[in-house]
A = this chain, B = another copy of it.
Amino acid sequence: MEVKVVQKVMKVNDELAQGVRLRLEGAGVACVNIMSAPGSGKTSLIEVALRALQGTPRIGVIEGDPDTTLDAERIAACNAPVVQINTDGGCHLEANLVGRALGDFDLANLDLLLIENVGNLVCPVGFDLGENKRVAVVSTTEGHDKPAKYPKLFRSADLVILNKIDLLPYVNFDVEIFRGYVLGLRPGVPILNVSCRTGEGVDAWCSWLREAASGA
């Protein structure tokens, strides 16, 4: 009985996600769903991109968190339109929440919508939000074994960011083992080494976002 209910929830989500996708396509807005563990640096990655790209492409942001508007405040300080979704303890975003948030954006004035999912390596993966691309973020402080232990996210990623690369000298993290795990799960996926503190890799991250915005 439980399985039937879960299937129903997933089916409804998939239908709502398709509605979000069509609405964004109609408005010429590409969409990227960014997922990681809590504290991997998703918000910082969005901040550095907004500051570097300076409105080209025009980016809107949906921030998902169980509680607080801390992340939305950080994005608003970058002069980007932002909507905070509080899940009230919920562990992932769903398409119905994204669909409702779309009404708060002027889609005609956007090229790209970035969705920062709830910090969670497991639950968000199964929920299509209507995105065109998925980004998985891991920070060097989390250990190189994370893709092996949490494989599902990496199997569906279009880009993997290894963040906080500036902390590599201070942690026990083997980049080659990490890359091996990631490429074993998702052959050919691009992997970017980034530091939001030093700026390393930010150009490549911005280039990827420009391509995503152009529908490439």
List A residues at the B interface (Cβ < 8 Å): 1-2, 5, 9, 37-39, 65-68, 70-71, 89-91, 118-123, 138-139, 141-143, 145-146, 148-152, 164, 166-167, 170-171
Total copies of this chain within the assembly: 2
A148 near B38 (CB under 8 angstroms)? no
- Contact (Cβ within 8 A) B91 A91: yes
Q: Please, which residues of chain B bring their CB within 8 A of the CB of A120?
A: 91, 120-123
- Interface pair A149/B66, CB less than 8 Å apart: yes
Residue numbers in B under 8 Å from A67 (CB-CB): 148-151
7 contacts between A and B (CB under 8 A): A38-B121, A66-B151, A68-B148, A70-B149, A89-B122, A89-B152, A91-B123
Given A89-B152, A118-B122, A123-B123, 15 other A-B residues pairs in contact with their CB atoms under 8 A: A37-B37, A37-B39, A38-B121, A38-B142, A39-B141, A39-B142, A39-B143, A66-B122, A68-B149, A70-B148, A119-B121, A122-B123, A139-B141, A141-B141, A167-B171
